[in-house]
A and B are shown apart, each in its own frame.
Chain A
């Protein structure tokens, strides 16, 4: 059932208003904080108010402007989009609070919070995009809005990372644009409201080239190897930005784009016919393992996190590429699972950096006793990545393996297992160092971070457990993911 409802457009718009207010508030700290938090809350309320309807199967649509027939700015909050926007708006609120604590003494805070809000606006815009053009619009805007955040420190290193980031993502954007144009020419529409719009008559070669272009375009942001180069470099950004980049906005938008391309542009039936997804699945499996191996050798905590992100994102791609309902469920759910676990870890890394100035793993000896709550949160996230039952990460691995078996591709289940071992190999040493090694004695007194930073960390950690433990409870995000899968597979 489709309902015309302005809330679908209001959700992206509210962060836009927030950004404008933040820029207008000059250097007044109070109003900047007030606007940031109020907008985050308002957005969460708007998205949540659509959730019950969405769970019942209602789809909210809203057309803003139309360029020519069928081409325009239009929003459509279907189950998949709702899932993504629930995750991102929840995390926006949490990250905003964290960022207020983290950025306490940084320069250029107005610019930071302004573009921060713009990023979330564009992310929800991507989530609710009704057609490929709207999606591209927000996808490109996101690139531009994150650039000032990446180079926030204005150091030569940051500028270099920013340049790299732009070259990668804008090339990706250009591919998406070309793909959109060809799609429009072939299908006569660009809507994302159907389970597949491209006809097989367009020719296998054309469709294959189009698929590669579109997947590569979104794959840059989803950091599929070998398109991942920008992500570790972008680590120079302030920690809340990394958290946002890695958990909420940029990479997830890439992964979400891939889901949309596979499910709503090509459609499962057409892709089975083309058989090209086996290649994508193979590439994703390779990325999962290779990135994990690289992560083991990273001593810098944030770089280790970056490679872990690359590995985890390919779970989503793999799940989508397997083209089975269970794997698809895993792919969608992993958007949330990875987001909450990864953001917990980034918050922890940021808190440690603020409290002690330490950035590498081997320096963390004994930190578990000085910052027990922080490191407990870290442990929860680590266990989730390893895939221990009752934690969020387990759900993904379980359904992904089931989905692979459903397709008869048992080797992907082995990939899951290997990945679990590799995750253990690079996360458990961190936990071990923090809790079981003694700290150097000449250490200055170290305390837990300020509550504005500790609070969000703990909340995220709790979410990791909730997501893992409440799969079968109705009304939880999992139900939304199932609804999306049912639509895509026509069940």
Chain B
């Protein structure tokens, strides 16, 4: 059990990170903190997918003289690059929404906003 966990330490860490993020999204009242929770979740998933591509003893997949296989699988990294771009735009949109909420309601605490509604 412990050995299996140790062997898959990267996956276990992603799961823990994911749960921390989810906890923040659900429990935090401050919208920015809520959103930071979401960012943590995103990081967890990104880390997980990048970890998939790891090959034991692999080199960075940059072709050139003197570089021999095995390589680390580059595809997940390329994908996550896209994923980060998406996450970034989500963050930008969310923050601009939060600014507008603050301008309109004078608060960004979810419990106070519910009263405003």
Direct A–B touching in the complex (beta carbon < 8 Å)? no
